[in-house]
């Protein structure tokens, strides 16, 4: 069985019993309902949390918030903060790998059910860019704050400045400098930029994306993660999508917005992610050199994931199960 088919059928199985969650039946088969075996009915339950990569602690935190009746926005912030605070993770928050000059610079954004959006780019010395992004959205007339201005705003808002370059990341950077060879790294430790989408029990969708960006990037570089429509997009009528991987490729195709618009036109989250990857593949001759992965969720709580290469994962918390799910991918040679 092809992996995609396997993932689809895996996501359909085990959906019969759902404790304490709303279950939505969304069968699209032409078989008559009397003849339809239970397992053929695509029942999807809410709430749901999905995130890029294997980040069970983050999805568990977000799920906990939803179980306490908090909004999807609260769940997203709390979930993303788990990875930002994890000094072992070298692509998000504290411990993130620095740029070529040794600066850890963070990008993040958050989007709510009303289509409000807040972001920080090139933020230094503040461990929780997702929370600063939320404050930008809620407390300022702007949507993006950058660099020193973002840091000043964060400190004035009560965030504590701290050195984000850990000994391990400093040592890795020192080693990298011996050759100073810049290449985007594919699938860092199965644990990379965190993009997270959540639907709460009211059916409202929110999303967030947080990263230290590409390791050893040029100073001043900003990726897709904090840019609306590229690293993240939410439309509460339709669904949400978020990205990981080489930001330059995602930015040029406005991938997350594309996925949401494709879902609006009737594509499933899986089909929409596949088409967004297809656009990137069609426009880049060097796909061997970089990875991009998308995840998506629609209003019903159906999810999808697709990447250029093998090795991309999503974590999904749904039906009281917190699961790591391998993503299907385009390059079957990888």
Single out the residue of 208, 247, 255, 301 in contact with ligand SD4 (rule: CB under 6 A). 247
- Smallest separation, CB 172 to ligand SD4 (Å): 15
Binding flag, residue 223, ligand SD4 (CB under 6 A):
yes
Strands (E), 28-161: 43-46, 48-52, 106-111, 117-123, 144-146
Mask of contacts with ligand SD4, 188-217, x by CB under 6 A? ----xx-----------------x-xx---
Mask of contacts with ligand SD4, 64-103, x by CB under 6 A? ---------------------------x------------
Count of other CB atoms within 10 angstroms of residue 53: 27
- Determine the Cα–Cα distance for residues 301 and 286; give it in Å rounded to an integer: 34
Q: Residue 294: enclosing H or E segment and its boundaries?
A: strand 292-298
- Determine the Cα–Cα distance for residues 209 and 205; give it in Å rounded to an integer: 14
Nearest one of 175, 194, 198, 162 to 76, comparing CA atoms? 198
Single out the residue of 169, 244, 256, 268 in contact with ligand SD4 (rule: CB under 6 A). 244
Selecting among 193, 211, 253, 303, the annotated active-site residue is 193
- Smallest separation, CB 77 to ligand SD4 (Å): 19
Single out the residue of 93, 239, 245, 301 in contact with ligand SD4 (rule: CB under 6 A). 245
- Determine the Cα–Cα distance for residues 149 and 171; give it in Å rounded to an integer: 29
Judged by CB under 6 A, the stretch of 24-32, 35-43, 79-87, 243-251 that binds ligand SD4 is 243-251
Binding site feature residues for substrate: 221-224, 244-247
Cβ pair 173, 98 in contact under 8 A: yes
Q: How are strands ordered across the β-sheet holding 144-146?
A: 144-146, 117-123, 106-111, 205-211, 194-199, 48-52, 313-318, 321-326
- Smallest separation, CB 220 to ligand SD4 (Å): 13
Binding flag, residue 54, ligand SD4 (CB under 6 A):
no
Q: Which is nearer to ligand SD4, 193 or 236 (CB)?
A: 193
Our answer to whether residue 193 is catalytic in this structure is yes
- Smallest separation, CB 249 to ligand SD4 (Å): 9
- Smallest separation, CB 247 to ligand SD4 (Å): 2
- Smallest separation, CB 179 to ligand SD4 (Å): 21
Binding flag, residue 242, ligand SD4 (CB under 6 A):
no
Tokens 């977000």 map to which residue? 62
Bridge partners of 292, per DSSP, are 245
Cβ pair 10, 37 in contact under 8 A: no
Structure tokens at 47: 């709430």
Judged by CB under 6 A, the stretch of 11-19, 129-137, 222-230, 257-265 that binds ligand SD4 is 222-230
DSSP-derived 3-state class of residue 331: coil
Number of residues that bind ligand SD4 (CB under 6 A): 13
Cβ pair 209, 232 in contact under 8 A: yes
Contact residues for ligand SD4, defined by CB under 6 A: 91, 192-193, 211, 213-214, 223-225, 244-247
Positions annotated as catalytic residues are 193
């Amino acid at each position: 069985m092809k992996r995609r088919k396997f993932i689809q059928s895996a996501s359909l199985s085990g959906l019969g019993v759902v404790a304490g969650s709303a279950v939505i039946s969304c069968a699209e088969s032409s078989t008559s309902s009397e003849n339809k075996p239970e397992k053929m009915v695509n029942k999807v339950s809410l709430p749901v949390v999905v995130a890029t990569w294997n980040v069970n602690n983050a999805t568990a935190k977000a799920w906990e918030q939803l179980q306490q009746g908090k909004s999807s926005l609260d769940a997203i912030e709390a979930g993303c903060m788990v990875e930002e605070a994890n000094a072992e993770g070298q692509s998000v928050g504290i411990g993130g790998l620095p740029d070529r000059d040794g600066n850890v610079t963070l990008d993040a954004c958050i989007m709510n059910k009303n289509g409000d959006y807040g972001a920080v780019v090139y933020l230094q010395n503040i461990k929780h860019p997702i929370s600063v992004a939320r404050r930008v959205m809620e407390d300022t007339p702007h949507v993006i704050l950058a660099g020193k201005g973002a840091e000043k705003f964060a400190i004035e808002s009560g965030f504590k400045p701290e050195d984000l370059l850990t000994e391990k990341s400093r040592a890795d950077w020192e080693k990298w400098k011996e050759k100073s060879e810049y290449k985007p790294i594919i699938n860092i430790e199965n644990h990379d930029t965190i993009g997270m989408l959540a639907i709460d029990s009211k059916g409202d969708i929110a999303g967030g994306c947080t990263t230290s960006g590409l390791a050893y990037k040029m100073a001043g570089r900003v990726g897709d993660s904090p840019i609306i429509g590229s690293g993240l997009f939410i439309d509460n009528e339709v669904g949400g999508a978020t990205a990981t991987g080489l930001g330059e490729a995602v930015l040029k195709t406005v991938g997350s917005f594309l996925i949401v618009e494709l879902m609006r036109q009737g594509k499933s989250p899986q089909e929409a992610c596949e088409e967004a990857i297809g656009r990137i593949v069609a426009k880049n001759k060097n796909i061997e050199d970089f990875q991009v992965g998308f995840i998506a969720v629609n209003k019903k709580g159906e999810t999808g994931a697709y990447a250029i290469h093998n090795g991309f994962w999503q974590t999904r918390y749904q039906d009281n199960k917190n699961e790591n799910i391998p993503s299907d991918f385009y390059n079957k040679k990888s």
